[in-house]
Amino acid sequence: MSFIERPRFSCMLGGALATLTSLPRVIPIIHGAQGCGGQLTNSFAYGGYLGVGYCGGASLPSSNVSEKEIIFGGAERLKQEILSAYEVMDGDLFVVVTSCMTDLIGDDVESVISEVERPEYPLIFVDTGGFKGNSYYGYDIVIRSLFEQFIPVSEEKDDRLVNLLGLVPAYDPFFRGDLEELRRILSLIGVKATTFVTPDQTIEDIKNAGKAELNVVLSPVNGVRAAKAAKEKHGIDYIVTDLPIGSNASVEFALAVAEKLGIDEEYVRKALAKEIDRYYSYIDRATDVIADTDFQNYAVVINNVTEALPYAKYLDNEIGWLPEYIFITDELRDKTKQLIRESFEAIPFENRPELVFETDTFKIQQYILQKRPQFLSDTYYDKLDPAFVLGSSIDRKLAQTLNGNLLNTSFPVSSRIILNHTYTGFNGGLALLEDLITAQVSGR
Amino acid sequence: MKFDVNFDVQFPNPRERQRATAYAFGGCTSDLRKGSCAGCLGRCDRSFTQAMFCQMGVSTLISFSTKDSVVIMHGPVGCGSQSHGIDFSIKQYGAARGVKMEGARWLSTNLNETDVIRGGNEKLYDTILEADRRFRPTAIFVCNTCAPGVIGDDIENVVNRAQEQVTATVVPLHCPGFGAKVFSSAYDVVYHGIMHRFGFEPKKYIDYTPFDKSDPDYEIKKQRYEFKKSRTVHLYNAWSIGPGDEKEIKRLLEAIGLNVRTFVEYKEPDDWRFITEAALNVSFCHVHDVYFLEFLKREFGIPYIFPTIPIGTEQTVKFVTAIAEFFGLEKEAEALLKKETEKLKKALEPIRKNVEGKSVLISGGFLRIGATGLLADEIGLKVIGFRNFNYDEFGDQLFSEVQEKIGDVQNAVSTQANELVNMVYKLKPDIAISHPSVGVWLVKAGVPSLTLFAQRFTYFGFTGAYSLAKRIERTLKNTAYARNLSQHTKLPYQEQWYGKSPYHYITGLPETDNPNI
């Protein structure tokens, strides 16, 4: 894999820390250099100023290995660190995570763990050496480890309980609001959902995840490994769905989950009818300003593999905009790209955008400008105007070059703080329309 | 104190070795000073440690604020990924200095498992070439991280090879995180890279045209130039020093007739060639630049001083006076400072009434917190504790003043949140002033906290003292946020931890007669 200009993710440890600090009362213990914990916290902060959480940043226990440990090994230091953490830190689950350098020096973390295991302090180990993958993978492997090492296997399943997987804290910046909205939608059809990383979750909820009938993975890539592990160990079946944005997509989502759980389609449609009415009565009153001002835009969607297609689909299918380019910014294997292409082809776009896999910020801009120059000596040429970029803070330059608007929807998000804002489901569809129009009237 | 260092090495020693900088200590100010003089602090360590910054992260600061530079993070993709946040600040604070900055431009060599086995040299080489082609930068800083550091990649060699192919100056920075416990070692690393790769003297016909000897005005022109240089002082800024700070100190020094320039941040490397066009170099804070100033002294014979950090009336007066003395401008300075002091004193009076007697805990870099403590004392706050990130002998002068004025209060050397909240639990400050990344733990613990440096405010000099006093007053006016939050949030520490000493896990503490907290 090549170098990357301003990567839109961090390392596996970074994703693991973003996830662990979002899980309820979890104490991560880093086996790594002193800067890993602090700086990776500062890095995932740019998921809409996602703070340290329960135990991130300067509270993260970290073995802070230095030259001495590189030469003599860091196992003893880690052992001391874990035992001290037991004395000081207050948590329901301790999770040892490693960094690339401790992987390199080859510390035998497993044997340290077996030495320090105490029944009163649940402890698991997740190997997150930095160069093995990026932060999305870090999320997956943490959740997978929970299923493999922590969540008790339950023979008894609750046929109205599902787990929602696939949204990565910080790197899917709206993860909390999105998961809460999807849980709300599922509750309308009588289904409960475990969300893992939203603030309401407790360690009991996590332990209960083994009782779920189904794992719903909201990403074609992230969370799939965890779902596979859960299937193997806990016998929980899984489906992979798109992140639903807007009314139509939300109904599709509810129907897909319902089908797997054996819930009657009619029942679902009836249960959601009121929600759809409510949604469109909001849209209804937004129509005056939209119709009077011609707010239809060409759009460029720049996002990760989880969110890029859903945003484009919403723009095209739900509000009748013209997404022209979709850039997926993850590093993906060819097989996965093929898979994504297939789901892209399956979306019934009115105006089919171009799908591009590009990690590099500079090349994204270059790609558009080479195809659609913004300045030509000719009076008449096919310009992207009016343009709207749905991307990250570092796509601001592209938006300025296109003389268009920017809505900061993908990592890094530094132009807004995100608490429980959502761009998913019914409420998210409304919020997205709200923000797309607001951007165009905010100067008034 | 004497600063003894060898510049003729591939990379500088970390400060814990180079100048016995401590990173772990707990006790009172008197113990801290005693330990520092006897070198005892260097023996302190911890048996429980928490995450913080590393020298690689800190190395990016000067690198990014060099105008039109590009930074390459040579390591796995997570290293340096916090740099998204720097983009905004360098643009904003550059603009405030009248410098148009491009924003944070950086690349990660994105080392993966294969690269770690095969070595990342070729990837780094390609990245340097692409960085140059893509951005045409003035300088390319290459930050070496832990992984290539451990596998022993020879980045010096790669950089030299790439240098032949690119127009930008490529600067290798040997800053793997594991290499230094004291993360401010980064400043030495970056200055080391800069001093070995750039020139610091103006070039004939590029930067200046020599005076023509046949010119009838030759003598007068020459004298004019020499006079100006003899009245020129260079100030060394740093990340934590905002545009307002520079402006304030410039204002004071210019008022006594000096010509003032700031280096090295927010300048492009071509501007650095004027670094030697000064009669005196002044450091605001030796933590940042004493390494470089010592180099300029040895190499170019430019004297330097670091009188103190100009925070609060007394330290500002001291700072300006020391510079004035060097130039023989004591009288001018005295008149100016007298007037400024009076004006400030009058302005601070109403603030004093509102904040008097409130207790404050200050946490961050040691010079800045010491001087901030004196300022807090000046406006009537009760300083009840300090928490230094690091500490070495360079702080002894300031902290002897602090001890004299404020008393022998708690004075820890720590970046650990567990020690901080324990200290807060016992000292119960009304307010805290803290370095970024620390404040959140204070606010969660119910203590309103304002940032020790916020570049959008002025902190230095007379106007800075007023600004900080106003901020303290403003913060104390409504503390509902911290109060509400602390009632509804739980810190990740066990109750029993608060029953122990905050310094429980610090090993090798020197003996003391002072009571512990």
Is the domain of B99 the same as that of B146?
A: yes
Confidence check: pLDDT of B160 > 60:
yes
Q: Which residues of A412-441 are buried (b: 16+ CB within 10 A; e: fewer)?
A: bbbeeebeebbbbbbbbbbbbbebbbebbe
Across the interface, whether the CB atoms of B110 and A13 are under 8 A apart is answered no
- Span of A163-167, B9-13, B69-73, B373-377 with lowest mean pLDDT: B9-13
Q: What is the pLDDT of residue B1?
A: 56
Q: What is the pLDDT of residue A307?
A: 98
Which CATH number goes with the domain that contains B434? 3.40.50.1980
Is the domain of B291 the same as that of B433?
A: no
Confidence check: pLDDT of A90 > 90:
yes
Q: What is the pLDDT of residue B66?
A: 97
Of chain A residues 11-50, which have a CB less than 8 A from chain B?
11-14, 25, 27, 30, 33-43, 45-46
CATH architecture assignment, domain A158-261: 3-Layer(aba) Sandwich (3.40)
CATH architecture assignment, domain A12-150: 3-Layer(aba) Sandwich (3.40)
Over the stretch A187-221, which tens digit does the pLDDT of each residue have? 999 999 999 999 999 999 999 999 999 999 999 99
Of chain A residues 100-119, which have a CB less than 8 A from chain B?
100-101, 104-105
Q: Chain A partners of B505 at a C-beta cutoff of 8 Å?
A: 84, 88
Nearest to A131 among B113, B416, B496 (CB): B113
DSSP state of A210: G
Residue B47 forms part of a structural domain: no
Q: What is the pLDDT of residue A371?
A: 87
Please give the mean pLDDT across all residues of chain A: 95
Is the domain of B82 the same as that of B153?
A: yes
- Spatial distance between the Cα atoms of A31 and A79, rounded to a whole number of angstroms: 10
* CA nearest to B312, candidates B304, B324, B320, B322: B320
Residue B321 forms part of a structural domain: yes
The stretch B444-452 carries a mean pLDDT of 96
pLDDT category of residue B236 using cuts at 50, 70 and 90: very high
User: ipTM, 2 decimals?
Assistant: 0.95
Across the interface, whether the CB atoms of A3 and B127 are under 8 A apart is answered yes
Q: What is the pLDDT of residue B41?
A: 87
Over the stretch B122-139, which tens digit does the pLDDT of each residue have? 999 999 999 999 999 999
Q: What is the pLDDT of residue A393?
A: 95
Residue B269 forms part of a structural domain: yes
Confidence check: pLDDT of B288 > 80:
yes
**Taking the C-alpha atoms of A241, A242, A243 and A248 in order, what is their torsion angle to the nearest 10 degrees?**
-100
Residue at a domain's end among B145, B162, B197? B197
Across the interface, whether the CB atoms of B178 and A43 are under 8 A apart is answered no
Q: Which helix (H) or strand (E) holds B89?
A: helix B86-95
Domain that holds residue B243: 218-327
Is the domain of B363 the same as that of B407?
A: yes
Q: Where are the domains of chain A?
A: 12-150, 158-261, 294-413
Give the residue from chain A lying closest to B490, CA to CA: A54
The two three-digit tokens of residue A403, written as one number: 């003389």
Is the domain of B100 the same as that of B234?
A: no
Over the stretch A355-398, which tens digit does the pLDDT of each residue have? 999 999 999 999 999 888 777 777 888 888 999 999 999 999 99
Residue at a domain's end among B290, B311, B327? B327
Q: What is the pLDDT of residue A105?
A: 86
Please tell me if the domain spanning A12-150 has the same topology as the one spanning A158-261: yes
Across the interface, whether the CB atoms of B84 and A393 are under 8 A apart is answered yes
DSSP conformation letters of A2-64: --EES-SS-BHHHHHHHHHTTSTTEEEEEES-HHHHHHHHHHHTTBTT----SS-GGGSBB--
pLDDT category of residue B369 using cuts at 50, 70 and 90: very high
pLDDT category of residue B179 using cuts at 50, 70 and 90: very high
- Span of A170-179, A260-269, B41-50 with lowest mean pLDDT: B41-50
Over the stretch A316-359, which tens digit does the pLDDT of each residue have? 999 999 999 999 999 999 999 999 999 999 999 999 999 999 99
Residue type, A263: I
% of chain B with per-residue pLDDT over 70: 100
pLDDT category of residue B2 using cuts at 50, 70 and 90: low
Residue at a domain's end among B197, B226, B241? B197
Please give the mean pLDDT across all residues of chain B: 95
Q: Which helix (H) or strand (E) holds B160?
A: helix B155-163
Is the domain of B131 the same as that of B173?
A: yes
What is the fold of A294-413? Rossmann fold (3.40.50)
The stretch B305-330 carries a mean pLDDT of 97
Q: Which residue has the higher pLDDT, B20 or B359?
A: B359
- Span of A99-108, B129-138, B169-178 with lowest mean pLDDT: A99-108
- Spatial distance between the Cα atoms of A188 and A14, rounded to a whole number of angstroms: 35
Q: What is the pLDDT of residue B43?
A: 87
Confidence check: pLDDT of A130 > 90:
no
Q: Chain B partners of A7 at a C-beta cutoff of 8 Å?
A: 77, 81, 108, 110
Predicted TM-score (pTM) of this structure: 0.96
Q: What is the pLDDT of residue A350?
A: 96
Which position has the token pair 């484009």? Answer: A312
The two three-digit tokens of residue B281, written as one number: 């170099």
